[in-house]
Structure 1
């Protein structure tokens, strides 16, 4: 075998994807959950900068629910990265 043929064979062998298709699906789900958490955290806008509404800024949704959803999304991402693909 020539040196060029060995190079081509090595390239073909090394072309396996890093993650399986299921892992990518779980990663996308984790990303969507994280984005939902950030969307839940949005709001509290006012036209008057001198008027502050603490009930909007410090609501249960923004202080408790949104960070919990974001952490849940990050945990889903960690699971997707660490999960071993099933053998076909």
Structure 2
């Protein structure tokens, strides 16, 4: 009987990540996507005309910061151990 129980336990499939890990991953992806959305635009339709809006605070400071925060959240989501007791 013990051998069959071990076989059943060996056949059980499990995920490496838990629900909490996936929630943090989705939050990180949202931050990264928002950063890329904020970084877009600012170009000029006419190549002979320079548009200084490309150097706005939103595109130079805010968007890259959001992207880096998103990558940090992704690393945290990967390293998070939901079974660890405090």
Give the TM-score normalised by structure 1.
0.80
Structure 1 CA distance for aligned equivalents of residues 30 and 80 of structure 2: 19
Residue aligning to 1:29? 27
Structure 2 CA distance for aligned equivalents of residues 35 and 22 of structure 1: 20
* C-alpha displacement of 1:61: 0.8
Structure 2 CA distance for aligned equivalents of residues 35 and 11 of structure 1: 38
1:60-75 map, 5 Å: 60-75=57-72
Unaligned runs of 5+ in 1: none
1:1-88 map, 5 Å: 9=8, 10-12=10-12, 15-54=13-52, 56-86=53-83
Give the TM-score normalised by structure 2.
0.82
Conservation of the 8 A alpha-carbon contact between 2:35 and 2:64: yes
Structure 2 CA distance for aligned equivalents of residues 24 and 44 of structure 1: 34
TM-superposition CA deviations, 1:30-62 (whole Å, max 9, x none): 0001100011101113221111112x1111111
